[in-house]
Structure formats: structure tokens, C-alpha cells
Amino acid sequence: MVRKTLIAGNWKMNGLLEDGIALAKGVAAEAKKAARKDCEFLICPPFTLLTSAKKAIKGSRVLLGAQDCHFDGKGAHTGDISPLMLKDLGCQYVIVGHSERRTDHHESNELIAKKAAAAINAGLKVIICIGETEAEKDAGKTIDVCTAQIMGSVPEIATASNVVIAYEPVWAIGTGRTPTAAEVEEVHAAIRKVIGKKLGRANANKMRILYGGSMKPSNAKELLALPDVDGGLIGGASLKVADFMAIGEACKQ
Ligand code: PGA
């Protein structure tokens, strides 16, 4: 089963106009030179940079995504951004359910499923994030937690063409620590099984499952070579053109 590798940069709350544009332009220029023509590059800048980033990557193979959305198309939701607005702006992707949103904004699986469904209905592809905390890992609950998050936050209308799962152990995000390659593969394979139960075997075989959490040039090759790892959701290392592109060069296929 060939699944197109996705190398996604999650810029989080980083970037003012000048450096954001420079970063997007840098990624676009390097992506043109990248040897791997068969993997997708995606950048997810903060809302404030989406329009400028879109201009900066115009004509390149780099795709544009946002980091969150509301579940309504429009209306009285001060400060929120709807999936339709993101689509209108030229986004192809949106991330939902990142652990920082689950924690900082108390987002539940149910809310994340609503956001994901709304984004799909608006014509966006959705990256749904899941992952266990350190305490949950220590208690041996990693697979149980991921199973519950998939069952609760992946909407019924999800298919392999409109949803990507990102497995991001919370304790690995921004810490420099990662699970072993064997642990990552074990969890990814388990996630694929759960997706199979929820959405059927065909979707499970085709759906991309990204690894996220301290992915960097030095560990990307080993992680991206794992059979059930179909790309990366990259935070810190996506803020440097060279690091992000080095991860892209490490992708399989
Ligand atoms: P990190 O973040 O690469 O900085 O660990 C990944 C993420 O939170 O998506």
C-alpha cells in the first residue's frame, strides 16, 4: 500500500510578518530543489500569516494549512475562524485536536470531531492529533488513550482522502525526547487497527498516520522508514528551512 508521505510544519504561535514570509519563501524555494518529488510538503502558519504565506509559496509544490478552526461556518463566535474562511483563503489543510489545544483550551474529543467534520464539509483535509501524556504512558495506557481519542475525535464522515491522523505523544512534544522506533511502530500499527474498526479496512490501509513530537533531521530517517509512519508533524524543526527540508529528504518512497 503506497501512502504519499506528508511532511507538515506546525509553526504554532511563531512568526511575525517578516520572518514568517522569509520562512515560507525558503521552504518553497527548497521544495523546488528537493529530490523527493513524491512527498507532500505542508506549512501551517498562524492565522495572521496565512495570506502572506500563501503569496510566498505561490507556484511551488508547498501546501497551506491552518492550526485550528471553529465548527460553524459563520456567526457569533468572537475571535474564531471558520473552516469556510480557511478554504476561502486558499488553505488545503487544517490541524485539529492538537494536544496544546486539548490542554490550553480544554478541547474534548467531541468538539474535535465536530471541527473535523465541519472542515471536511468545507472541502479541507484534516489532520487530527492524538497522543498520550507521560503519566498515561507510564501507566501502560498509550494504546487505550489513542483508541479512545480516535473513536471520539474522528468523525463518521472521515475517509483516507480527507483525514490524516497525527500521533503525537504529549511528553515528546518540544522536549527533545521521542519514543523508540519500535514503540512508534507499535502505536501506529495499533492506530491503524482502530481506524479499521471505525472506518473499515480500506480506509485504514490508505489513511496516513504521521508521527509528531521532537522529529528532527537526526531522527527523521529512522522514524519515517517505519512501515506505518506516513510522514511527520513537525513543530520546532519546521521553523528552520534547513531542518524542515532535511526531514523532507529523509522521507521514504
Ligand atoms: P515539536 O512539536 O516538533 O516541536 O515537538 C510537534 C507538534 O507539536 O506538532
Residue 234: CB within 6 Å of ligand 1? yes
pLDDT at 253: 54
- Supply the pLDDT for residue 34: 81
Closest CA to 187 of 178, 174, 175: 178
User: Residue 219: enclosing H or E segment and its boundaries?
Assistant: helix 217-224
For the segment 13-42, what is each residue's pLDDT rounded down to a tens digit? 999 999 999 999 999 999 998 877 779 999
Ligand 1 site-directed mutation target among 215, 216, 218, most atoms within 8 Å of CB: 215
Per-residue pLDDT tens for 97-141?
A: 999 999 999 999 999 999 999 999 999 999 999 999 999 999 999
Closest CA to 90 of 113, 112, 62, 114: 62
Q: Which residues of the chain have pLDDT under 50?
A: none
Positive/negative CA dihedral, 85, 90, 92, 97:
negative
Q: Is 65 in the pocket of ligand 1 (CB under 6 A)?
A: no
213 lines ligand 1 (CB under 6 A): yes
pLDDT at 65: 99
**Residues designated as active site:** 98, 168
Q: What is the pLDDT of residue 37?
A: 74
Burial 132-153 (b: 16+ CB within 10 A, else e): bbeebbeeeebbebbbebbeeb
pLDDT attached to residue 38: 79
pLDDT of residue 104: 97
